Every structure is written in structure tokens, then in C-alpha cells.
Chains A and B, each alone.
Chain A
């Protein structure tokens, strides 16, 4: 990962670290409270990363920026929570997964294949249409109430490090479990990409569509697989987010935040999605708690986007993305 060794990357992280610890330097906060806020932010960041990973997967393999990822998260969560009302959870999860695979097939057949040679911007707008369709469809079929998802996540916050700091540090156990789940997911995905034949094929397609086709890799099937995997990731994200917030329409709006995450991390990098998510989550929480009061609050609504914007000005390809060269 030589991207990490680039001086601009190091400078960026150094600046961030300084900005992050400012509240303590300025005496605004003591370490235990700061740690609480930081950990809370990092854990929220993990949840953003979950959604972002789905985006990166699809972009890597099909060059499509899937604006519908958030809608997919909501749809997966809705399907699961409503099915779980009528059957054991495990069965509901399997059925939802099948539904997501079916959805991947439908999207490939009716949206991607007819638009295969169009420019990126057309495909992006098509996924915008898919997002709207899914939002309407999900709520039409499953209803638009707020549903609680019970997957056995711990609900009580725990106090850790009581010995080190007076009063200890409050940590949301649910977020912690979510982080562990995300780590497991990333590990599984990495294994899948590196060790299996399908994974290799996916990486080939991500590199060069035509070259992959010319050695016999069936593009259409690959895309169905990728979108299914993205659907699986969406399901995991849906479970985690839905358990935390309740399954409701605003879930797809929350997932909009995954966009600045992939910008920060680079569109083609899963580690980038994770780092980006952590940075955004951390930055959001810290700025809301410590900068917010000066601005009347509500900074969380735009902080991620402005950060992404600033980043784009200096590094359009993101932290770990590939540099884009225009050839004429």
C-alpha cells in the first residue's frame, strides 16, 4: 500500500490527528469524554463503511456508481423484518438473501444489459431511477411504518476502562458488535476475492471489461454475482443499521452518507471504504460535539459532504484510488 507512504497522505492524516485532539488541547474536553465521542464516531463510521463497501464492489466490477445502494439496504432490511414476523429469523435471513439475488438478476437483465455501452453518467442516473423504484416498491409491498428489528444485538451500553479513568468510558455495545460483524464481512470478502476462481474473475472484470470478455469470462453472469454480493453486503448493513435505528424510510437517506465515504477512500478500494467510513464517522461526531455549539448545531448534516468536497479538490482519486489519466 504505497499510497500510505505518499507525503500528501501522511500530511493529511497528521492534520486530521491534530484537528481531532484540538478539543482536548484547548481544554474544552477531558480525555474520557473525548474518547467516548471518538469511539462513538468510529463505530458509526464502521456502519457507513458497510454501505460503502457495497458501492465499491459494484464500481470495481462494473464501473457503475450505484446510487441505489442505500435503497437496497432499506429494501433488504424491510424484507427481513417483515418476513421475520412470520418465521424464524434464520429462515427469514436466507429468504431475504434469495430475494436480493433475484433483485440482482432483475437489475442486470433490465437495467444494466440494455445500457451496457453507455457512459458512466447515464448508468448513474439509471441507478437513481432504480433507487426511486426500490423505495416505492419496498414500501408499497411491506408498508411504511417503523419496524423494530430484533436480531439479538445487545442493547445496553457498557462502561469500560473503569479502572483507568474515573467513571469509565461509555461504549455502545451494539455498535461494537456491528464493528466485529463488519470486520468479519471484510475478511470473508477478501478471502473470496483472493482465493476463489469467481473472485479472480471479478477482479479481471474490474480491470478491463473487454479483456475479461475475450478470455471467456461471461460478463452478464459476473455482474449478477457482483450485484448479489453487494445485495448481501446491503443485507448485513440493513440488519446492523436497522437494529440500531429501526427499519424506516430514513435508512436510505442515511445511506446517502456512503457517497462521501467512497470519495474519501477512493472508488475502487475496499480498505479505502473502511478508512473513509471511519474518518467520516469520527469527523462527524467530533465536529458536531465540539464545533457544533459555535454554529448552532446540525453540522452532521453537511460535514461529510463538505469534507469530501474539500478532499476532491486536492485528490480527486481519493486516498487509495487510482490516478485518472486522460489520454487523447
Chain B
């Protein structure tokens, strides 16, 4: 793996908690990996699986979804919906041959700038070790047709 590889993470931050946490990290001059490129949504529940897949397809090496702690969602239980979708999305990603660490869901309250910073640092380090995603090769296979990945973890679950 060449040393200059820096993973790119697209981050979906919810307006009320995690985006404010990121703001707070910046205001507190907490330095963390600049690899996460943030997109603001009103609630993590707005994040569709299509957004995640789009980001990965367009060249991102990972996607971070950040929401409020369960019980503290500004919209009551949006983050729970996100959690549900995320669990299902993870299964699908496994079938496509995409490693679990590439799409992560974290909770960060508005006062927890350090939590978000730590999450970004952690994820960046994990993705550095995993290497670039290269969707075309990983998911589509050489001739551009989707490759069926045999996922033995799925077999065990059922």
C-alpha cells in the first residue's frame, strides 16, 4: 500500500447533535483527521442507503453517519430509524464485498466534540489499513458486471 494513500470519508452529520459536536470540536481547536468531508442533514434519519452507496460509488473509501444519542434525537426517534436502516445496509454491503468498517454509525451529542473527533480519527486509521475501496474492482468485477460475493457469515446467521 503506498504511503500517500489517504482515505476519504463522506460524513453525514445531523444538524442538532453531531454537526454541532463537529462545530464544537472546531471551536475548541480540537484537531482530528481532515479525511472526513461533512454533509449536513437535519436528522440522521434523512440518510438513505442510496446516499451511502452513491458516496462509495463516487470514490469515497468510507461513510460516517453521525446522530444524536438514542433518546436524545431532536425529532424523537429519528436516530433509531437510522440504526435500523444501518443494520440492514451493513448486510447488503457484506454481500457486495465491502468491509464493515467502511460504513459506520456513531452517536455524538452536541457537547461531545471530542467524541466525534475520536470517531473520525479511529475510522480514518481503520480505512488507512484497509486501503482504498475501488468500487469498480470490488463490486463490479473486471468486466463491469456485478460480482456475486459468497458471504459465509450470512449463511451462519440463518
On whether the two chains bind one another, the answer is no
